[in-house]
Amino acid sequence: LGATIKDVAKHSGLSVTTVSKFINGGNVLAENRAVLEKTIKRLGFEVNQVARGLKCNRSMMVGVIVPTFEGQFFMRMISNIENSLMRYGYSTIVCDCRQDLALEAEKIRLLYGKQVDGIILAPSPENAGTYRDVLGRGIAMVFVDTIVEGIACDAVVVDNRNAAQNAVSNLISRGHTRIGLISMDRTTRYTARERVAGYVAAHEAAGIPLHREYMREGPVSFDGGGAAMLRLLDEKPRVTACLVTNDEMTLGALNALHRGGLRIPQDISIIGFDLNEAARAFSPELSTVAQPLSQIGETAADILVRRMNKEKPSSEMLVQLKTELILRDSIRALS
């Protein structure tokens, strides 16, 4: 087992050239084709992509790097990236960086060694230099979820600002004026900033004064969300509604809420982020902003493949996908 092209040649009485031609879809005499098919099946031959990669300078592998596997967010994206890439013949090497920027840079170096043809990643501005290096090496790259300003790279994101603005406007339309915001503390990050901007825009559009105390940030985690909610609840007068801008913090915030004895939506209206089906496991079912994860993954994969095929000498594109505000029972109108 582990037959090579040479074995196939020997056993079929043909030359390696002909075998190679055959497995690459070239023209071969009908009778030879039959012999080859048989031999290949018999030997369990599978073309050695490593050797092919060395020769052709294309490994047919792409690296996907995300800051965390916690939460559903990146996972669902990766699932779709992997599936899309497979259709194009690419394999997906995953890297979980566990929120560690140095680790991210290191994993990118490792990917160089693996000769990946492309990289999809959720970038952090701190590693901008590393990303420039990737591009400089001529490796195709696509950003997802967020971008780094000043780096010319294709990117697939969602309409973060609208997403937050719609959610908050909806709360305002139900009579809420004291609305909390819990978001991720990486204020330098485009995505976080945009969501905050949407929150602000909704207030401005409605002529409602902004209260800095109602805008909380914290680390992207269960505990981060819980702590932020706790601090938010300390404010007097208390908020009557709150938007939490990512799934992990949403869960933590819910925990803090019921620990504090607050009922949803009687005491406070809540809109969370992502969570997909899990949002419907709560009672009352949770309203959320849903991101099109599958679409993000697919789109990123498509763009990357085109870049790797050098089909697009065109300029970089920023694809912005639409989110959906899913209204369920966790919000109520103020009487």
Partner DNA sequence: ATGAAAGCGCTAACAT
Partner DNA sequence: ATGTTAGCGCTTTCAT
Given the rule CB under 8 A, which residues bind a second copy? 1-2, 44, 46-51, 53-54, 59, 61, 69-70, 72, 75-76, 78-79, 82-83, 86, 91-96, 98, 107, 109-110, 112-115, 133, 136-138, 222, 250-252, 254-255, 257-258, 277-278, 280-285
Instruction: Give the amino acid at 195.
Output: R
28 touching DNA, by CB under 7 A: yes
8 Å CB contact between 279 and 296: no
Q: How near is the Cβ of 108 to DNA at its closest, in Å? A: 17
27 touching DNA, by CB under 7 A: yes
Nearer to a second copy, 138 or 207 (CB): 138
Binding piece for DNA, criterion CB under 7 A, among 2-10, 63-71, 174-182, 239-247: 2-10
Binding piece for DNA, criterion CB under 7 A, among 48-56, 73-81, 97-105, 124-132: 48-56
Total chain residues near DNA (CB under 7 A) = 28
Other C-beta atoms lying within 10 Å of the C-beta of residue 154: 24
Q: How near is the Cβ of 106 to a second copy at its closest, in Å? A: 9
Cα dist. 137→99, 109, 131, 148 in Å?
25, 12, 10, 18
8 Å CB contact between 310 and 270: no
DSSP string, 57-100: T---EEEEEES---SSHHHHHHHHHHHHHHHTT-EEEEEE-TT-
102's contact among a second copy, DNA, none, with CB below 5 to 8 A by partner kind, is none
The three-state secondary structure class of 134 is helix
Spatial distance between the Cα atoms of 181 and 171, rounded to a whole number of angstroms = 12
What are the tokens at 192? 């976080």
Q: Which helix (H) or strand (E) holds 183?
A: strand 179-184
Q: Which of 23, 75, 93, 105 binds DNA (CB under 7 A)?
A: 23
Q: What does the binding site for DNA look like in residue numbers (CB under 7 A)? A: 2, 4-6, 13-18, 20-21, 23-24, 26-29, 32, 45, 47-48, 51-52, 54-57
